[in-house]
Amino acid sequence: MLKGINPLLNADVLQALRAMGHGDDLIIADTNFPSDSVARQTALGRLLRIDASAAEVVKAVLSLYPLDTFVDDAAARMEIVGKPDEIPSVQKEVQKEIDAAEGKSWPMLPVERYAFYERAKQAYCVIQTGERRFYGCFAFRKGVIPPDAE
């Protein structure tokens, strides 16, 4: 355990978050997502795990991880097949965590299921959560941390 770091963030996850650069994608996926096979195609090449709900994992990650302010799709969610405008409770919970971390409303953009799989394969890494509800899959593009004021 370390001061100021959410205890859900294990050493492997912390190393990956630290290694990522501006514009790299992070996938946070539910238990039904093909996380292992997709993770093998990512830059990291292996699956990371945090066994907690999607909202808890997003809260922990966003406590350290800056979202990209230069793009519209820095926060994205997998659409429900056949119901692209419906937002299930798991996504509403994650939206609250994004807004809290950013201190403002930061709506997630919907991504069609198969387009989400393709985005995930191009990501830096995948964190599989213990989330059992459907459509608990999210993509976050890493931003930058500005230098200290001079």
Active site residues: 22, 68, 117
3-class SS at 98? helix
Q: Where are the beta strands (DSSP E) in 16-101?
A: 25-29, 48-50, 75-78
Which residue has tokens 């593009």? 141
Structural contact between residues 47 and 28, judged by C-beta atoms closer than 8 angstroms: no
Structural contact between residues 121 and 41, judged by C-beta atoms closer than 8 angstroms: yes
